Every structure is written in structure tokens, then in C-alpha cells.
């Protein structure tokens, strides 16, 4: 047994990891379901749950970023610039979040963040019905760069404080300000590599990463990442965006009540 888990539990985790991987590259929110599954199905300490999940997100971010580079979403100057801005501000935000962890009541922040995620889901859904296509957004302008930088910092802070970050927040926020869906998912993969690597190093220092479990759930997760990328390339962006909005409305209450 790995991490003291029975075979049946591991089998369920493998299946859930596959679907989580699909979510990561198809719509963004997907990795959080790894955390939810580990909390619900195991007795692992919270630090080991987040540390192990973060270790898998480094790999999924690398594979996801390369997939979206191959399909062209990260080849444009704007896509590359967004990836850089998100990653740098995300790292800075993660440092702040780790420090805030000792100063702010996490339960209160969880409620606020959960409510924010739910409202973002409503905003994303509203945009699919009444908003623009996203072609009006230009990250190369000072205003566009500041908007992306703000999102990167917020995602980093949330990740450092609660272990919730990466595509689950970056994708809907980018879509909400007008970034096309597939580009938003692609650049979020780039950011997730840096934020997840930072988190993994921190949890490694606490000996809070189960590498055997990370491998068991990470392999099907990576298979799902490739499948999710292919799905995203074959389904229209409006449908993907509506699926994203629904997932946010499901995930929001979980974050608030965790």
C-alpha cells in the first residue's frame, strides 16, 4: 500500500486524477479536485495533501504549457507576455500569501475567496451570454499588463495562503477581463509551473510530499492533461466557458466551507 491507502482507494484516486487532468487543460479548474479527493478519501495531514498535489501540478503545468505552445496559443507576443507577467507576479504573491498565513484567519479568508470564486463564475457565465468575444483585450497595453499582473498576484496570494490557486482562479479571471478562453488556459499552465514549484519546495522542507502517491496520481493526471488539451481544441470556446462557469459555482462553496 502507498501512504497506508488500500488498493480500492488508490484505484478511485487514479480515476479521479484522470478526470482532474482533463479539467486542468480543458477549462482550467481541475487540479483542485485532486485536493478535494485526497481530503475526502485519505487521512493524510493537510500539509501532505497540498504538498503532494502541488508536486503533481508542476508536471501537469509543464505538459499543459507545451501542449498549448504546440497548438499556437502561447506563440503570440501577447501570450508570451501574459505568461511572464502571470508567473512573476504569481511568485511574488505566493511569498506574500505564505507570510499572511500566520497573520490572517484562514477560515474568514476561505469564506471570502469561496464567495469570490462563485461570483466570478456568475460573471464568466454572464460574459458568454452578453459579453464580447474577448478580442477587445490587449495585454500589451499598460492597462492590460496591470490587469494581468493583478490577477497573477491574487492567484499567488491565494495559493500561498490556502493552497488554492493556479488555473482554478487564473483562467476565469482572465476570461472575465476579456482574454480568449484557450489563451487563458494556456498561459495559466505556464504560471502553475512556477507557483506549484514554489509550493512544492516549501512542503519538501517540511517533509510533507508523498512521492509514491504523487507518481500514482500524477501519471493518470498527465494522461488527462493531454486528453483535456485535445478536447479543448475540438469544442467551441463558448461551450468551454459555460462549463468553466458551472465548475466555479460548484467549487466556490467548497472553498468557502473548507
Return mean pLDDT, the chain.
85
Query: Where in the sequence is the domain holding 117, given as residue range(s)?
Result: 7-257
Q: From residue 152, give the alpha-carbon distance in Å to each of 20, 62, 139, 166.
A: 22, 18, 13, 9
Least confident of 128-132, 170-174, 241-245: 128-132
Structural domain contains residue 1 = no
Structural domain contains residue 230 = yes
Structural domain contains residue 33 = yes
Structural domain contains residue 54 = yes
Structural domain contains residue 202 = yes
pLDDT band at 256 (very low <50, low <70, confident <90, very high): confident
Encode pLDDT of 29-67 as tens digits.
888 888 888 888 888 888 888 889 889 999 999 999 999
The answer, yes or no, to whether residue 134 has pLDDT greater than 50, is no
Q: 230 near 90, Cβ under 8 Å?
A: no
Structural domain contains residue 88 = yes
Structural domain contains residue 107 = yes
Structural domain contains residue 2 = no
If one counts the domains in the chain, the total is 1
pTM score, whole prediction: 0.85
Amino acid at each position: 500500500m502507498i501512504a497506508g491507502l488500500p488498493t480500492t482507494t488508490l484505484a478511485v484516486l487514479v480515476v479521479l486524477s484522470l478526470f482532474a487532468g482533463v479539467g486542468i487543460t480543458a477549462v482550467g479548474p481541475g487540479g483542485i479536485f485532486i485536493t478535494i479527493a485526497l481530503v475526502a478519501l485519505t487521512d493524510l495531514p493537510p500539509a501532505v495533501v497540498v504538498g503532494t498535489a502541488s508536486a503533481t501540478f508542476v508536471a501537469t503545468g509543464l505538459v499543459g504549457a507545451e501542449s498549448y505552445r504546440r497548438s499556437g496559443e502561447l506563440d503570440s507576443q501577447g501570450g508570451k507576455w501574459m505568461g511572464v507577467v502571470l508567473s512573476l507576479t504569481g511568485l511574488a504573491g505566493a511569498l506574500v500569501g505564505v507570510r499572511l498565513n500566520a497573520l490572517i484567519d484562514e477560515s474568514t479568508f476561505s469564506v471570502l475567496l469561496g464567495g469570490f470564486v462563485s461570483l466570478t463564475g456568475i460573471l464568466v457565465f454572464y460574459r458568454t451570454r452578453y459579453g464580447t468575444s474577448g478580442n477587445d483585450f490587449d495585454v500589451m497595453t499598460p492597462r492590460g499588463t496591470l490587469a494581468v499582473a493583478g490577477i497573477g498576484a491574487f492567484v499567488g496570494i491565494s495559493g500561498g495562503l490556502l493552497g488554492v490557486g493556479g488555473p482554478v482562479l487564473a483562467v476565469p479571471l482572465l476570461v472575465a477581463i476579456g482574454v480568449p478562453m484557450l489563451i487563458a488556459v494556456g498561459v495559466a499552465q505556464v504560471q502553475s509551473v512556477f507557483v506549484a514549484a514554489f509550493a512544492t519546495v516549501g512542503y519538501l522542507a517540511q517533509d510533507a510530499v508523498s512521492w509514491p502517491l504523487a507518481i500514482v496520481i500524477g501519471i493518470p493526471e498527465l494522461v488527462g492533461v493531454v486528453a483535456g488539451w485535445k478536447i479543448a481544441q475540438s469544442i467551441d470556446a463558448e461551450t468551454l466557458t459555460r462549463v468553466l462557469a458551472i465548475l466555479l459555482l460548484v467549487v466556490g462553496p467548497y472553498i468557502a466551507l473548507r
